[in-house]
A and B are shown apart, each in its own frame.
Chain A
Amino acid sequence: MRYAETGFNLEVDLTRGNIEKKATDPRETELYLGGLGTNAKILWDRVGPEVTPFSPENLLIFSAGLLCGTPATGCNRTIVSTISPQTELMAFSMMGGFWAPELKYAGYDKVVLRGKSEKLVYLWIHNDTVEIRDASHLAGKGAVETAEQIRQELDQPKAQVAAIGLAGENRVYYASVEQGRSSASRGGIGAVMGDKRVKAIAVRGTKDINLAKPEEFLSLCNEVLAYIKHREDNPIKGVMPILAGLGSPQEMKVHDEKWHTENFMWGNSRTRRKGFWNDDIEKQWTDTLEGARTRLISCFNCPMKCGATISMPGLPTYMMKCFTKLTYTMAAYSDLDFGLRIAQKATEYGLDGFSAPQVMAFALELLEDGILSKDDFPGLPEGNEDRFYYLLDMIVKREGIGDVLAKGTYWAAQEIGNGAEAYAHNTIKKHEQLPLKLSMLNPIYFLMYSIGEKINITQIEGQFPQAPFPKKEHREKFCEDWVQVPHEKFKQYFIDWELRGENSIPYYPTVDMTCDIVEWQEMMHYIDDALGQCAGLSSFPLKPPYHIHNYPKFISSGAGIEMDQEKLTQAAKRYRTLVRAVNIRRGMRRKDEKPPENHWKKRFPELEEKLLDAYYKLKGWNEEGIPTKEALEKMDLGYVADDFIQRGILTDEETADAQKETQTQ
């Protein structure tokens, strides 16, 4: 019997309309766990570097995590993996909500879509009955609207539906997959779904998920619940409120937006507005949110209330979470009322709330600076907010300049030319980032931005405080109950970290310490992404209930796989390297691993090179960021080394040094 996982994937060939239920190899689970790990293995095995994002050979994988559907609190994420049209690298966006557990209860760990349907279709998975159904009547419908309609026409109110809106249908490069209060937004996976002509996947399951050692697993769950209560009652002192508790940043709950509005950039990630927040604005925005928010809501089996139901007067109800609350507002220099209104439309269209507002602000900046002209925007309204609605429609319908803007700032700038490249200034690996511009380089953040392959800072940061506390006694106090550290040395790193002087950024934490900290932070996210655990109870907040010491027990008692800290660390390293291998094979190299030029005012090129060198070395990658043969073989990834050698990415005998020589010739 398989525990925690079902042991079956659904393989759907959209071109031929063929559906197969395929048993998976338990050995793969042991090596790559599940979720992101096994997704990476499938993409490595089946999607070569010659496959373009919109070719039928590209796969679109919806995967539950290994522990989704078990009683583990907050373990509900769907990991969606494909080749991204925006980065042309592996995308592994994720969504919480209710979809992944439902898929497990239906009897599957993953849905693997390949090929392309001729007509618009949706997939209906109901335990052992799986159908590809006509969706022509849903063409152009909103993502939320689509989900409701499918539930109604199937007469299945308990079905969970992941759907795209018009943005996905029209292959907008930053189209999302929407699912209730959650969405998988980054990397343009909604565009790949649209390209495959799949409007939605609806699922309903009524089967059991088994546990290997039930009593032990449940006592671990109870410990987690007790710890969540403890953390709720004891918020962390000395950090800003959204970092003091657990969960995703509690944007739907808090009214005080001084920190975001005064520290994040407005417009096309350009302008910091110090002194923006005042009593009048606080009152106005509080009224807006209080009036709009009907309830704070959660994902499956989780007590954290990170999302909300939003009903703006005169608009259909939708659900929201996290920072999309402010992205449209700040891109348009507007207020919260505007932000929540346009987000309703954008959610129905199915768009990434980070990228979309930046693309629109970017377009208006190009117009303002004469790189684009009024002729490029026929019928452009005068009012600023109206212009954002205008651009939203142009982009999603891919009309006029919207057709170019639909590719995101990087590709749009390439096409527009005429100096537009300088305006696409806030991307990493061709993907828009948080609108954040800072003063002094932070070595930890430099590394995370550079080497992150999830290409979103919130999906690699966490665990370690973002800044030192001013007083040593407070830092010591913080370390007292810091059980989550994988090694005691992290406590000392933090205790010795000062705001000013010798032990302050950019040279402290030292290069080696920085590498350790980043490796820990990154590893925890990768573990979450394989297990399906929400980062909000694990890798993202300080002092989370899940950590490297209890995770092995969850895996062994849940999935019945012998596990300890060492073995889990190795597994995470293995599939983390496999993600990199997919991207290396697609051409990613050291030159791509850098934050936006203007992310910090004060840069330290020599230190930055040292940081990259040291991290690559720690990970067993050569100076180009390519995993070495030796490192790969040590991780049971000999097949990757063979492929690299065959393709000339690595040469047979070379060491990291030899590789550098060939690259510089």
Chain B
Amino acid sequence: MASKEKEKKTIKTIKIDVDKCNGCRACEVICSSFHASPKYSSNNPARSRIRIIREPLRDIYVPVYAGEYTMAECAGRDKYTIDGKQYDECSFCRASCPSREEFKEPDSGLPLKCDMCEGEDEPLCVKWCLVDALTLEEREEEVEEQEEIEDLEIGLESLADKYGMQTIMDTLARMSTDDKSK
């Protein structure tokens, strides 16, 4: 099998410097504002795709971005001690998960995910972070070309997630049999 072509891709990374965070939550405000529909028409930090874990008296300031949705919560919850401060493992987790309210629409409970503010020059949380706790780094990386996943496959995958692969296959088999008999 022939090896796939390598291609250059720009990787965008938001660098988070927790030591510089002043805990103001401007990132939460502008994120929820940008993602409102129509754009900027409302804001509500509870809808934000970035959250500051903020405990001033313990000097804990951790900006966390919303990542993938996960169906199940973790089996164990670990504790981290960094610089004498104790953090819950969830403090660093990006997932929208059943164990907590983070990164879900407050009304519908639908999961939220950071999209780096598609269409903007830079993510707006970075633009609004004047204290530079959030900065954007762009770098080029060579990656193997991947075949584009098609809509159909995405759809099937989520159906499989929900019903299990076997059920999907059984259903497909039955449908195709039904089709022939017509």
Contact = CB atoms under 8 A, between A and B. Distances in A.
A208 B43 contact: yes
A211 B24 contact: no
B131 A305 contact: yes
Nearest to B45: A105
Interface residues of B, number: 31
Given A206-B46, A214-B33, 6 more contacts: A209-B42, A211-B40, A297-B22, A302-B26, A303-B131, A319-B56
Interface residues of A, number: 42
A208 B26 contact: no
Contacts of B43: 69-71, 208-209, 211
Interface in B11-33: 22-26, 29-30, 33
Interface of A: 69-71, 73, 98, 105, 144, 148, 157, 180-181, 205-211, 214-215, 217-218, 225, 228-229, 232, 294-303, 305, 309, 316-319
A105 B32 CA distance: 12
Indicate the member of B25, B38, B47 with the most A CB atoms within 10 Å. B25
Contact of A209 (B44, B56, B59): B44
A209 B41 CA distance: 8
Contact of A105 (B38, B46, B57): B46
B44 to A, nearest CB: 4
A205 B28 CA distance: 14
Interface string B112-132: 000000000000000111110
Nearest to A212: B41
17 contacts: A70-B43, A71-B30, A71-B43, A157-B55, A181-B56, A206-B46, A206-B106, A207-B106, A208-B44, A211-B41, A214-B41, A214-B42, A303-B26, A303-B131, A305-B22, A309-B56, A309-B57
Contacts of A305: 22, 131
Contact of B59 (A69, A217, A228, A294): A294
A70 to B, nearest CB: 7
A72 to B, nearest CB: 9
A302 B24 contact: yes
A579 to B, nearest CB: 30
B26 A301 contact: yes
Nearest to B128: A225
A215 B40 contact: yes
B45 A299 contact: no
Contacts of A205: 46
Contacts of A297: 22-23, 56
Indicate the member of A98, A148, A214 with the most B CB atoms within 10 Å. A214
B39 interface: yes
B22 A296 contact: yes
A33 to B, nearest CB: 20
Contacts of B61: 295
Interface in B55-113: 55-59, 61, 106
B168 interface: no
A225 B42 contact: no
B136 interface: no
A225 B130 contact: yes
Closest 8 pairs between A and B when the two form their complex, measured CB to CB: A214-B40, A303-B130, A206-B46, A208-B42, A298-B24, A206-B106, A298-B22, A208-B44
Contacts of A295: 22, 59, 61
B152 to A, nearest CB: 35
Contacts of A206: 44, 46, 106
B56 A105 contact: no
Nearest to B55: A157
Contacts of A302: 24, 26
A309 B43 CA distance: 28
Nearest to A294: B59
A297 B25 CA distance: 11
Nearest to B58: A317
Contacts of A73: 26
B36 A144 contact: no
B38 A214 contact: yes
